[in-house]
Amino acid sequence: MTIKYDFLIVGAGLYGAIFAHEATKAGKTCLIIDKRNHIGGNIYTEKIEDIQVHKYGAHIFHTNNQEVWEYVNQFAEFNRYTNSPVANYRGEIYNLPFNMNTFNKMWGVVTPDEARKKIEEQRSANYVEHPQNLEEQAINLVGMDIYEKLIRGYTEKQWGRPCHELPAFIIRRLPVRFTYDNNYFNADYQGIPIGGYTAMIDKMIEGIDVKLNTDYLVEKSKWDRIANKVVYTGPIDAYFDYMFGVLEYRSVRFETEILNTPNFQGNAVVNYTDRETPYTRVIEHKHFEFGKQPKTVVSREYSVEWKLGDEPYYPVNDRKNSELYQKYKAMTETQSNVIFGGRLAEYKYYDMDNVVEFALQKAKEVLRNM
């Protein structure tokens, strides 16, 4: 006999887990399936050398939304980690985001007035009335020194193209801070779940049926028969069998290594902003949790071209892809029993707090009407 569920949830990531939790709390039955061999989606963490390793890139929870913060705190206790990345430019270390510490190191200025004056001087020296590319735009915003040392190489590695060939719109603003404050997100609430994100997701989906290593799209009609409604959090173009074409992404490759030292770089996140170093960042995972283990685990991040079949990370929000997404979005109207949600189904970069907020909203809306 086939079990019939109220919801089939495709994707055991944050969106799917929250939806499943809320539906179960409301008395509905759920089955979660995921094509990966683990739960958690991209926020998955795995213990290596007693250190929680962020397998799909560093994840720092930050939000200004109190409701979202209280919601996630039901499932995990968060530590006091505050993201304060540093930039390494050919061995010179600068604090990020651009703030008084950065300006002091760059130019020796001490007061906010001195820093403002220096930036103004730098901007006006090379000002271009109508910036035609990212390089001109960045120099207009912060001047040559910051552009050369902290923006140029990093951005070129991220996009795989020289800055003067990249469109100006990629950088609309470059926040500069005239305080000695290295808190990158400046959010009301910030931290990392003690014990890792996987444990947090595990708690969310406690008691719910989960089937891993299961690709929904391989036997879609079989899975559709198992539930009254489907919550789909996979790529939207894949759902519609790429009928209008493939949505593009930028991808990231991680090289993870265990090192026989208790402290490799003294900080969780170090950005390499020169052009020559092939990777963009080095993450030392133990510093997210103030680890005292005898060894350390580091991940070097390489920004790479994406092709179908690779792990999709960052949607490319240019005109071509946005128009393509709109076509798929219109198609979702034809699928009355399917709820599309999360970063892949909505083809949008969402921080985790957005995902929590939207998954909760959607669950409320759907459950109210059942």
- As measured in angstroms, the least distance from the Cβ of 14 to ligand FAD is 4
Query: In angstroms, rounded to a whole number, what is the distance separating the alpha carbons of residues 213 and 246?
Result: 24
Of 33 and 171, nearer to ligand FAD (C-beta) is: 33
Query: In angstroms, rounded to a whole number, what is the distance separating the alpha carbons of residues 154 and 149?
Result: 9
Q: Single out the residue of 153, 124, 123 nearest to residue 138, CA to CA.
A: 123
- As measured in angstroms, the least distance from the Cβ of 330 to ligand FAD is 21
- As measured in angstroms, the least distance from the Cβ of 188 to ligand FAD is 14
Query: In angstroms, rounded to a whole number, what is the distance separating the alpha carbons of residues 308 and 287?
Result: 34
Of 21 and 59, nearer to ligand FAD (C-beta) is: 59
Of 103 and 189, nearer to ligand FAD (C-beta) is: 189
Helix H or strand E encompassing 256: strand 249-259
Query: In angstroms, rounded to a whole number, what is the distance separating the alpha carbons of residues 125 and 130?
Result: 15
Of 36 and 275, nearer to ligand FAD (C-beta) is: 36
| Helix, strand, or coil (residue 287) | helix
Q: Single out the residue of 52, 67, 124 nearest to residue 296, CA to CA.
A: 52
Structure tokens at 317: 């929000």
Give the end-to-end CA distance of the chain in Å, rounded to a whole number.
Answer: 25
- As measured in angstroms, the least distance from the Cβ of 266 to ligand FAD is 20
Of 57 and 162, nearer to ligand FAD (C-beta) is: 57
Q: Residue 34: which residues within 8 A CB-CB, separation 6 or more? A: 10, 11, 12, 13, 16, 41, 210, 211, 212, 213, 214
Q: Single out the residue of 142, 148, 138, 96 nearest to residue 275, CA to CA.
A: 148
**Active-site amino acid positions:** 173, 177, 250, 281, 301, 349, 351
- As measured in angstroms, the least distance from the Cβ of 313 to ligand FAD is 4
- As measured in angstroms, the least distance from the Cβ of 34 to ligand FAD is 4
Query: In angstroms, rounded to a whole number, what is the distance separating the alpha carbons of residues 142 and 147?
Result: 7
Structure tokens at 119: 């930036």
| Residues 287 and 278: beta-carbon distance below 8 Å | no
Cβ burial, residue 221 (10 Å; 0-12/13-18/19+): exposed
- As measured in angstroms, the least distance from the Cβ of 39 to ligand FAD is 8
Which positions lie near ligand FAD, rule CB under 6 A? Answer: 10-16, 33-36, 41-43, 57-61, 215-217, 233-234, 252, 313-314, 342-344, 350-353, 355
Of 153 and 341, nearer to ligand FAD (C-beta) is: 341
* Amino acid, res. 271: N
Of 98 and 313, nearer to ligand FAD (C-beta) is: 313
Q: Single out the residue of 330, 257, 272 nearest to residue 303, CA to CA.
A: 272
